[in-house]
């Protein structure tokens, strides 16, 4: 009986240890936090133009098994316009900051091209940020006097990165890690659809967005994709009271998961 228990324990340990390895994927964390929810005028609102300032905080996990954590702050200012009852257009500038924690390889087996000596020598907290501009266009369909379907929105954003995490990625090659983001800027677009409803005290709504990064990573993912392009999905709920719009969202992508809370404040 004791021999059987020992054998069972060794089998269980072998199974557990088979999952103690990981790959190394170092992407820009901004790809899940760029394109935050932006408030827009409804057809039921008076006026055809508004100016908003926006701020949000997000927490996320990145890399294989989401072993790297990050905190992100994002702020922007933008103008939004009603172009009749069918179109919306907006443009603005944004600024983001991030604290990214690079985890070491202690306790993990090495998969792929990961070099644990290189990663362990550069582990710890890295700061980074991004500054840039964005613009978008939306097609709106009226459901009734107080509800609309924002059938399709398209927003493109350019963010110039800076900071320690970018410097860390600049040291990489595909012989040190499995895949990494070699660019010092993020050029991405989000395609979205949204339902928005006017209430007596404000408004509320729901939005889904699909983000595409037009740059590519260098290296490969474990599924065999070489120099993969990054994609992410955003799910948002929001409500407004007076000039303030509040939103919460989560974004999920390959080797990325982010939760965010924020607000847009109308200043004009």
Nearest 5°: phi and psi at 243?
-80, -5
pLDDT tens profile 33-44: 899 999 999 998
The residue range of the domain holding 153 is 2-266
pLDDT per position as a tens digit, 11-35 = 444 444 445 788 999 999 998 889 9
Q: Which residue has the higher pLDDT, 15 or 116?
A: 116
**Distance, CA of 181 to CA of 132 (rounded, Å):** 18
Q: Above 60 in pLDDT, residue 57? A: yes
Q: How many domains does the chain have?
A: 1
Distance CA(210)–CA(197), nearest Å, equals 22
Closest CA to 151 of 211, 195, 121: 195
Q: Please report, for the domain that includes residue 235, its CATH number.
A: 2.40.128
* Entry pTM: 0.89
As a whole number of angstroms, the distance between CA 43 and CA 209 comes to 21
Q: Which residue has the higher pLDDT, 46 or 179?
A: 179
pLDDT digits (tens, 9 = 90+) for 130-143: 999 999 999 999 99
Residue that is written with structure tokens 């340990």 in the block: 13
48 or 109, which is more confident?
48
DSSP string covering the chain: -HHHHHHHHHHHHHHHHTTSEE--EE--GGGGTSS-------TTSS-SEEEEEEEEEEEEEESGGG-EEEEEEEEEEEEEEEETTTEEEEEEEEEEEEEEEE---TT-EE-TT--HHHHHHT-EEEEEEEEEEEEEEEEEEEEETTEEEEEEEEEEEEEEEEEHHHHHHHT--TTTSSEE---SEEEEEEEEEEEEEE-SSEEEEEEEEEEEEEEE-EEB-TTS-BSPEEEEEEEEEEEEETTEEEEEEEEEETTEEEEEEEEEEE--
State the chain's mean pLDDT as an integer: 92
């Amino acid at each position: 009986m004791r021999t059987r228990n020992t054998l069972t324990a060794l089998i269980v340990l072998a199974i557990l240890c088979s999952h103690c390895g990981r790959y190394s994927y170092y992407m820009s964390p901004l790809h899940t936090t760029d394109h935050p929810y932006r408030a827009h005028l409804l057809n039921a609102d008076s006026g055809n133009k508004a100016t908003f300032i926006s701020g949000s905080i997000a927490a996320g996990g990145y890399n294989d098994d989401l072993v790297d954590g990050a905190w992100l702050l994002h702020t922007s200012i933008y103008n939004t316009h009603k172009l009749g009852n069918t179109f919306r257009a907006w443009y603005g500038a944004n600024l983001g900051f991030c604290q990214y924690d690079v985890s070491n390889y202690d306790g993990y087996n090495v998969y792929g091209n990961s070099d644990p000596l290189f990663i362990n020598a550069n582990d710890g907290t890295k700061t980074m940020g991004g500054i840039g501009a964005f613009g978008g266009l939306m097609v709106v369909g009226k459901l009734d006097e107080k509800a609309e379907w924002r059938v399709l929105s398209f927003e493109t954003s350019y963010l110039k990165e800076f900071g320690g995490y970018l410097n860390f990625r600049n040291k990489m090659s595909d012989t040190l890690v499995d895949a990494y983001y070699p660019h010092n800027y993020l050029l991405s677009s989000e395609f979205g659809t949204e339902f928005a409803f006017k209430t007596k005290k404000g408004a509320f709504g729901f939005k889904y967005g699909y983000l595409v990064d037009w740059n590519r990573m260098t290296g490969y993912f474990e599924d065999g994709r070489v120099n993969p392009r990054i994609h992410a999905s955003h799910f948002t709920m929001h409500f407004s009271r007076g000039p303030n719009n509040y939103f919460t969202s989560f974004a999920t992508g390959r080797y990325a998961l982010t939760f965010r809370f924020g607000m847009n404040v109308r200043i004009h």
